[in-house]
């Protein structure tokens, strides 16, 4: 254990100002499906990934791995596989109730953003670790840990001036083959990142009232 040195203490008024400022900024975040193909500086993405890696995790094991896909051929391959799974979902697997819930969002089996966007961040959950000699190490609270890291990554991308989209084709095992990831890693989601197209549109959604999401006792 070491002494906490990074913590900064602010006056209460400053804390309230910072909380309000952060909320107003993150409240502008929207999921976007229309991207430009403008390339992104490598350092920008690297810093967002390093921010995600600060997330707390079970036993501090950091059970995640990020694969940044910028290669056009790889993005095309991922799109082909993802759309195949999506067509199966929309045509055969999805219950009507689910399709009705998705209808206002305008989603379908076509996923052109997987090719158009300059950057796909494929997030893998490491369900167990492997030592150099091959011994398996149990990981704890994997889904919770990877979910927290993903949330920080989405927020970091927004803070940097980018937009993003979470995409979860099901099943996603094809990603292990496309990206040559080991069997102890399970695809968690694809985070599409870039700049919004000039004519990008988003659903007309309303944020929920605080009383709907929180209880103070």
Does residue 69 lie in a domain region?
Answer: yes
Q: What's the whole-number mean pLDDT along residues 86-108? A: 82
Q: What pLDDT score was predicted for residue 19?
A: 98
CATH assignment of the domain containing 108: 3.40.109.10
Q: How far is CA 128 from the centre of its chain?
A: 21
Q: What pLDDT score was predicted for residue 203?
A: 87
- Rounded to an integer, what distance in angstroms lies between the CA atom of residue 124 and that of residue 168? 12
The pLDDT-based confidence of 62 (bands split at 50, 70, 90) is very high
Does residue 203 lie in a domain region?
Answer: no
Q: Answer yes or no: pTM beyond 0.95.
A: no
Question: Quick check: 42 pLDDT over 80?
Answer: yes
**Residue keyed to tokens 């953003």:** 113
The pLDDT-based confidence of 89 (bands split at 50, 70, 90) is confident
The pLDDT-based confidence of 122 (bands split at 50, 70, 90) is very high
Does residue 166 lie in a domain region?
Answer: yes
Q: Which of 217, 191, 211 is nearest to 32 (CA)?
A: 191
Does residue 17 lie in a domain region?
Answer: no
Does residue 96 lie in a domain region?
Answer: yes
Q: For residue 68, what are the domain limits?
A: 31-197
Q: Which of 46, 37, 14, 56 is nearest to 151 (CA)?
A: 56
The pLDDT-based confidence of 39 (bands split at 50, 70, 90) is very high
Question: Quick check: 210 pLDDT over 90?
Answer: yes
If one counts the domains in the chain, the total is: 1
Does residue 210 lie in a domain region?
Answer: no
The pLDDT-based confidence of 97 (bands split at 50, 70, 90) is confident
Does residue 6 lie in a domain region?
Answer: no
Q: What pLDDT score was predicted for residue 98?
A: 78
Question: Quick check: 105 pLDDT over 80?
Answer: no
Does residue 213 lie in a domain region?
Answer: no
Question: Quick check: 165 pLDDT over 90?
Answer: yes
Q: What's the whole-number mean pLDDT along residues 28-53? A: 97
């Amino acid at each position: 254990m070491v002494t906490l040195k990074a913590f900064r203490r602010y006056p209460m008024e400053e804390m309230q100002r910072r909380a309000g400022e952060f909320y107003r900024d993150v409240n502008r975040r929207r999921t976007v499906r229309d991207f430009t193909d403008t390339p992104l500086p490598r350092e920008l993405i690297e810093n967002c990934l390093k921010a995600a890696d600060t997330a707390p995790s079970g036993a501090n094991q950091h059970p995640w791995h990020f694969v940044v896909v910028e290669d056009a051929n790889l993005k095309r391959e991922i799109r082909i596989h993802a759309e195949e799974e999506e067509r199966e979902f929309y045509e055969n697997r999805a219950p009507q109730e689910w399709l009705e819930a998705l209808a206002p969002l305008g989603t379908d089996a076509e996923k052109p953003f997987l090719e158009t966007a300059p950057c796909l961040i494929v997030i893998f959950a490491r369900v167990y670790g492997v030592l150099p000699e091959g011994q398996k190490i149990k990981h704890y609270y994997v889904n919770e840990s990877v979910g927290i890291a993903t949330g920080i990554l989405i927020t970091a991308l927004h803070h940097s001036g980018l937009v993003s989209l979470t995409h979860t084709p099901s099943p996603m095992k094809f990603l292990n083959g496309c990206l040559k990831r080991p069997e102890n890693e399970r695809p968690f989601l694809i985070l599409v990142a870039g700049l919004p197209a000039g004519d990008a549109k988003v659903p007309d959604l309303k944020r929920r009232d605080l009383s709907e999401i929180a209880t103070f006792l």
